[in-house]
């Protein structure tokens, strides 16, 4: 990538500049670095906005995103999102749910089927149009910060595999906090930089993709960033690990076979350890917007 297409950025969490970042490894000609002060992992220098957003083209959605989901099937879509839909149900007050980085809006469609008033924001013009025209959804083609939404109006805001793509995750989380009602819920899923796969295979773990994933979080850094943004994490967990997905093609096939066989054999033992040490592939976070005013009985 030409120098003109790259920009240097300070740490998004603590504001420290480049000399305070430790280079971890390079991939696709870009450096993945870790802030020495707050340990946030990020790509620096990184592609400028126009280069980052090129990725979310019509071609990406028609050739990669949509084929990965198969033909759109409302029932299958609803069942795929059932876990998260069940978890958020008890937060209904305004009945408004927003998905930031909603892509074509499959999650929004599932939430709507569960009775939520839904809207989405999406920077890909193609994806936003697809969701509006084919699924009849309210999707704003914008970043969350610029979408012109009403503060304090949402019960739930979701960011599914979005945060790692954003140019200013701290700014977006502050916007999430502003848009949620007091006591409302933010739900975030994002890759786990502390996953066993990353610890074992480093940059060969396919999730490491500095041309589009420009931030990488651990249970500790996601907790810190949310807290700084006015959101109080109530649950930070990881799922399990996948021994093939995102490794095949990057790691020697023989090594992968042995690794897969070991993990599969030891699954009953390994699984609880992965969850206990939070070294699964993906982070799943629930956080509450602070600012609940508890009614106090009058002392008089």
Does position 211 interact with Zn ion (CB under 5 A)? The reply is: no
Nearer to Zn ion by C-beta: 16 or 57?
16
Minimum distance from residue 14 beta carbon to Zn ion (Å): 3
- E strands, the chain, are 6-7, 21-27, 30-35, 41-43, 46-47, 96-100, 117-121, 139-140, 154-160, 180-191, 215-216, 231-238, 282-289
Minimum distance from residue 40 beta carbon to Zn ion (Å): 5
Does position 242 interact with Zn ion (CB under 5 A)? The reply is: no
* Closest listed residue to residue 214, CA positions, set 95, 96, 48: 48
CB burial of 266-300 (b: ≥16 within 10 Å; e: otherwise) equals: eeeebeeebeeebbbbbbbbbbbbeeeeeeeeeee
The C-alpha atoms of residue 200 and residue 202 are separated, in whole angstroms, by 6
Nearer to Zn ion by C-beta: 10 or 282?
10
CB burial of 35-62 (b: ≥16 within 10 Å; e: otherwise) equals: beebbbbbbbbbbeeebbbeebeeebbe
Residue numbers 2-41 binding Zn ion by CB under 5 A: 11, 13-14, 16, 35, 37-38, 40
Minimum distance from residue 56 beta carbon to Zn ion (Å): 27
Minimum distance from residue 37 beta carbon to Zn ion (Å): 5
Minimum distance from residue 266 beta carbon to Zn ion (Å): 36
Minimum distance from residue 38 beta carbon to Zn ion (Å): 3
The C-alpha atoms of residue 207 and residue 184 are separated, in whole angstroms, by 30
Binding mask 75-104 for Zn ion (x = CB under 5 A): ------------------------------
The size of the interface with Zn ion (CB under 5 A), counted in residues, is 8
**Interface with Zn ion (CB under 5 A):** 11, 13-14, 16, 35, 37-38, 40
């Amino acid at each position: 990538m030409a120098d003109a297409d790259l920009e240097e950025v300070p740490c998004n969490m603590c504001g420290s500049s480049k000399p305070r970042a430790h280079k971890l490894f390079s991939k696709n000609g870009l450096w993945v670095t870790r802030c020495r002060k707050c340990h946030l992992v990020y790509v620096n220098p990184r592609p400028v906005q126009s280069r980052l957003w090129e990725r979310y083209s019509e071609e990406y959605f028609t050739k990669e995103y949509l084929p990965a989901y198969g033909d759109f099937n409302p029932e299958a879509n609803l069942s795929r999102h059932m876990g998260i839909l069940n978890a958020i149900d008890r937060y209904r007050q305004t009945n408004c749910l927003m998905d930031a980085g909603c892509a074509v809006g499959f999650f929004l469609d599932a939430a709507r089927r569960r009775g939520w008033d839904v809207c989405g924001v999406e920077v890909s013009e193609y994806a936003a149009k697809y969701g509006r025209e084919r699924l009849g959804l309210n999707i704003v083609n914008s970043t969350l910060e610029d979408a012109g939404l009403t503060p304090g109006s949402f019960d739930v805001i979701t960011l599914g595999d979005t945060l790692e793509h954003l140019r200013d995750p701290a700014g977006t989380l502050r916007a999430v906090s502003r848009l949620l009602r007091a006591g409302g819920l933010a739900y975030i899923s994002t890759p786990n930089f502390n996953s066993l796969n990353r610890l074992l295979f480093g940059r060969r773990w396919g999730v490491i993709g500095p041309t589009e994933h420009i931030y990488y979080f651990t249970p500790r850094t996601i907790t810190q960033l949310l807290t700084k943004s006015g959101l109080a994490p109530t649950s930070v967990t990881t799922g399990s690990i996948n021994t093939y997905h995102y490794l095949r093609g990057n790691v020697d096939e023989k090594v992968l076979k042995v690794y897969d066989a070991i993990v599969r054999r030891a699954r009953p033992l390994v699984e609880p350890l992965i969850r206990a040490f939070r070294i699964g592939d993906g982070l799943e976070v629930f956080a509450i917007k602070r600012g609940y005013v508890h009614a106090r009985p009058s002392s008089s």
